[in-house]
Structure 1
Amino acid sequence: MPLDQLVTQIERAFDPARELLVPILSDPMVVAVWVLLVGASVGTLLWDIRNRNQALPSMMKGVWTLVALYSGPLGLGLYWYAGRTQISTDSLWRRGVRSTAHCYSGCGAGEVVGITLAQGILALTVGWVAAITFGFAYLFGYALTVGPLMQEGVAFWESMKDALYSETPSITIMEVIAIGADLLLASEAHMGDLLFWMALAFSLSLGFLAAFPVNVALVNFGVKEGMKNPAEMRSDQTEGQAQAAD
């Protein structure tokens, strides 16, 4: 089957969802409420980090801030569930959330840059928009793994090998769903349209949800280590303060 026919069939299959969601995502009142929720979520998260979770490493502070910026209350809820030093016990599910959040922060930034550049500024065709956005998502997603590894002294090619091995399945699933949903909802929208930005935010959250079970499986089978238990960071900080006091 030719690719254009396949794309047409997929679009027709999702027509009911598009007809339902496009008016909602284009509604100025919905947009205003969403902006307020995102602002409140990011503000709450930053307050909590500053006052109760300074022990978190700077990278994870940035990760959770981006997650809340992309997904609003959902992002804040994920941080509260798995990212705070106050969590009672760690689990595979919490490790999966943190691993997905780490991937999501980089890939999300790449997707925002790619969609804005290819569709919003250059007004390219759908195929080019998808290709460029995928490229930016992979670039940003890999960079968020390679950079910290190199800071720890791992050689570049070894860091790239680790990133390709551990991040590719998660990035691929996340971006197939996210970019696909965004283009189905807003492929003809312009940067000045509310739908352009709301479809992007909605699709990013769908990408997170799609990639979560993949990351749980990768962590479970040892392909990914998962991010460190934040409760241990609080214990380390407490011990360090006690030693300094002595």
Structure 2
Amino acid sequence: MLQQGLFTQLAEAAQPVRATLQPVLSDPRVLFVWALVAVASVGVLWWDIRANNQALPSMMKGVWSLVVLYSGPFGLAVYWYAGRTQIRGDSLWRRGLRSTAHCYSGCGAGEVVGILLAQGLLGLTVGWVAAITFGFAYTFGYALTVGPLMQEGVDFWTAMRDALYSETPSITVMEVVAIGADLFVAAEAHITDVLFWLALVLSLSLGFLAAFPVNLALVSVGVKEGMQNPAEMGQGSAS
């Protein structure tokens, strides 16, 4: 009873936020503008990779493409600060951002698949949508860590164990925030609704922001490496 009462109070306190967000995220003009901005951001990313950052591994090119696709200019800014070979010097913050981006690329794909399937296509209840989406996000994010480890020569069970303790905290925080935000704003939206898509866009970026401090802490204590310093992969001039 106490938990239910607390949940009700939190929901009522947050209602003004939802009432403010829903009209904005239901506006087709906002979706159109966002789509243009996101496509332009991906175009800038691909131009820069082709012109200046061919030295980046193919996996990281894919990671940054997904990050910018999900978060548009925000994702592009993260790439520009932490992911280019022209960075002036590596730092804990840059390593934390790269680690979060790596996690975000896989988890984001899983979240999109889960939301589309569970809410958009099957129209399941909120509990099932949350559980299925988290399952997809965790699986995608986990696989994106296990696969590269095995490519480096790590055996399957060691890779599974390492990914379990290094990725579970950030994936969990990222998806609790992202899925919670999505369902908070658009739990009753359908796949044909503008609100469905813009709430998904917003939730993905909120998940990134929530997971960044977790990855920063994991990198700082040595649990995660923060991905390779891109400045070591090329000879581009600092910018």
Q: Counterpart of 2:173? A: 173
Deviation at 1:29, TM superposition (A): 1.3
State how 1:228-243 maps to structure 2 within 5 Å.
228-235=228-235
Partner Cα distance (1:107, 1:2) in 2: 33
Q: Counterpart of 2:215? A: 215
Deviation at 1:6, TM superposition (A): 5.2
Corresponding pairs, count: 236
Deviation readout 1:67-104 (Å, 9 max, x if unpaired): 00000000000000000001011100000000000000
Q: Given the two structures, how large is their TM-score scaled by the length of structure 1?
A: 0.93
Deviation at 1:155, TM superposition (A): 1.2
1:183 maps to a residue whose letter is L
Partner Cα distance (1:10, 1:143) in 2: 35
* Structure 1 residues 2 and 193: CA distance shift in structure 2, 3 A: farther
CA RMSD of aligned residues (A): 1.3
More moved, 27-36 vs 70-79:
27-36
Deviation readout 1:147-193 (Å, 9 max, x if unpaired): 01111121111111011110011001101100000000000000000
1:46 maps to a residue whose letter is W
Deviation readout 1:202-239 (Å, 9 max, x if unpaired): 0000000011011111000001011111000114x9xx
Q: Counterpart of 1:123? A: 123
Structure 1 residue 184 and structure 2 residue 184: aligned?
Answer: yes
2:185 maps to a residue whose letter is L
1:80 maps to a residue whose letter is W
Q: Counterpart of 1:45? A: 45
Deviation at 1:8, TM superposition (A): 3.6
3-state SS of paired residue (1:14): helix
The runs of at least 4 aligned residues of structure 1 exceeding 4 Å deviation read 2-7
Q: Counterpart of 1:150? A: 150
State how 1:1-246 maps to structure 2 within 5 Å.
1=1, 7-235=7-235
Partner Cα distance (1:13, 1:166) in 2: 35
Segments of structure 2 that go 5 or more residues without pairing to the other structure are none
Partner Cα distance (2:51, 2:5) in 1: 55
2:156 maps to a residue whose letter is F
**What percent of counterpart residues are identical?**
75
More moved, 149-158 vs 69-78:
149-158
* Structure 1 residues 112 and 7: CA distance shift in structure 2, 3 A: farther
2:18 maps to a residue whose letter is R
3-state SS of paired residue (1:72): helix
Q: Given the two structures, how large is their TM-score scaled by the length of structure 2?
A: 0.96
Query: 1 or 2 for the larger relative contact order (CA 8 Å, sep ≥6)?
Result: 2
More moved, 2-11 vs 76-85:
2-11
Partner Cα distance (2:107, 2:35) in 1: 21
Partner Cα distance (2:61, 2:5) in 1: 44
